[in-house]
Amino acid sequence: MSESIAKEESTNPLRIVRIEKVTLNIATGKSGEPLEKAKKVLTQLTNKTPTTKQAKKAIKDFGVRKGEPIAAVVTLRGKDAGEFLKRALDAVSNKINERSFDDYGNVSFGIKEHIEIPGTRYVPELGIFGATIHVTLGRPGYRIRSRAIRPSKIGRKHYVSKEDAVKFMQNNFGTSTGN
């Protein structure tokens, strides 16, 4: 049975796994100067303009108010996503924890210091930030669930499974998985 599935994946173009997007997130926890520095770091890393994310609820102990901007985010797609992902994986020695994969083809991992990413230089005025990187994998045909006219559901067999995502990352980026 698994042999027939492998044969179908090699011949059916709708079974090919690809990168839908890579999202890079730096959460500062407060607005103002730290957030502006995080935006500059994201611009330096990706050459894209970052957007801000607001707090969803107030946390009095941390001094965060609802609606206050506390994070900077950049979403990369296409060729830019693949190139940045290669650099980001070099920062973690091409190792991704197996728990970082979910059942729907998403992978998330963190970087403790953004200067670990190859090609990034340290700027003392900006400081050092940690970042989380979220990779969304998909297959051709995923657009039908989010299109404006006649959106539809995707069959369970068409989703990218955890095993498919691990295999994709190993084959295309040479990653190894651990516990």
Predicted local confidence at residue 32, as pLDDT:
84
User: pLDDT > 70: what percent of the chain?
Assistant: 93
Half-sphere exposure of 126 (CA within 13 A, CB side): 21
pTM: 0.86
pLDDT digits (tens, 9 = 90+) for 62-102: 777 888 888 899 999 999 999 999 999 999 989 999 999 99
Euclidean distance between CA atoms 19 and 169, whole angstroms: 10
pLDDT digits (tens, 9 = 90+) for 95-147: 999 999 999 889 999 999 888 888 888 888 888 898 999 999 999 988 899 89
Euclidean distance between CA atoms 68 and 111, whole angstroms: 24
| Domains of the chain, each with CATH number or no CATH | 14-173 (3.30.1440.10)
